[in-house]
Chains A and B, each alone.
Chain A
Amino acid sequence: DAGITQSPRHKVTETGTPVTLRCHQTENHRYMYWYRQDPGHGLRLIHYSYGVKDTDKGEVSDGYSVSRSKTEDFLLTLESATSSQTSVYFCAISSPRSGEGDTQYFGPGTRLTVL
């Protein structure tokens, strides 16, 4: 347990509405990540952050934005949700250390359904 929580854990929303998912960590990890998990695709990186206000795009960033105004919180926003964004979203953290590389630890996930 790396002290990661995600909220909400489940959400159902309608197409076109904005949605924000929150990832919160309590152990001052520098790096935070958002992935989505879909059948047949495994996990794919959406966005990541390497510090407060420092973020970058991942493999599947279209339609998503992120913000990190505090070390402990990393927010994922769907500006206008679409059915293709129905997925399970995982947050992860890492604190690269010598000998351990960038080993990541995952939160419990948020199941999002867009109708």
Chain B
Amino acid sequence: GEDVEQSLFLSVREGDSSVINCTYTDSSSTYLYWYKQEPGAGLQLLTYIFSNMDMKQDQRLTVLLNKKDKHLSLRIADTQTGDSAIYFCGHSGGGADGLTFGKGTHLIIQP
């Protein structure tokens, strides 16, 4: 299977919470990341979490990490039309030799 797996699409109604999930296989992952990509743009860092943490909150964003199950999630509260984008989960071993990414989840906002 893939090193990092994400669902390809998620559709939510405006104002609801969005939860984007990611699973990974590398147990040596030290840092885990969420990036956002809007059409025609590069990847924008949203947040990251160190592997010894369970949760990190930053305004509307909540990251949950279940290291035992190698599962990472990103919750966006009060989803807005501006949140429509592709969200990438990524991880590294902390060795500065590059990140490994999932294929990205397209977040679609319904009015």
Contact = CB atoms under 8 A, between A and B. Distances in A.
A103 to B, nearest CB: 6
B41 A108 contact: yes
Interface in A86-115: 90, 92, 94, 96, 99-109
A45 interface: yes
Interface in A28-60: 31, 33, 35, 40-45, 48, 50, 56, 58
B11 interface: no
B94 interface: yes
Interface SS, A side: strand
Interface in A59-82: none
Nearest to A108: B42
A104 B41 contact: no
A89 to B, nearest CB: 11
Interface in B59-108: 88, 92, 94-104
**Interface residue tally of chain A, by bracket?**
20 to 34
Nearest to B48: A103
Contacts of B97: 48, 56
B45 interface: yes
A114 to B, nearest CB: 20
A78 to B, nearest CB: 19
A40 B101 CA distance: 12
A42 B103 contact: yes
A75 B80 CA distance: 38
Contacts of B31: 101-103
Given A40-B103, A42-B102, A48-B98, A106 B43 contact: yes
Interface of A: 31, 33, 35, 40-45, 48, 50, 56, 58, 90, 92, 94, 96, 99-109
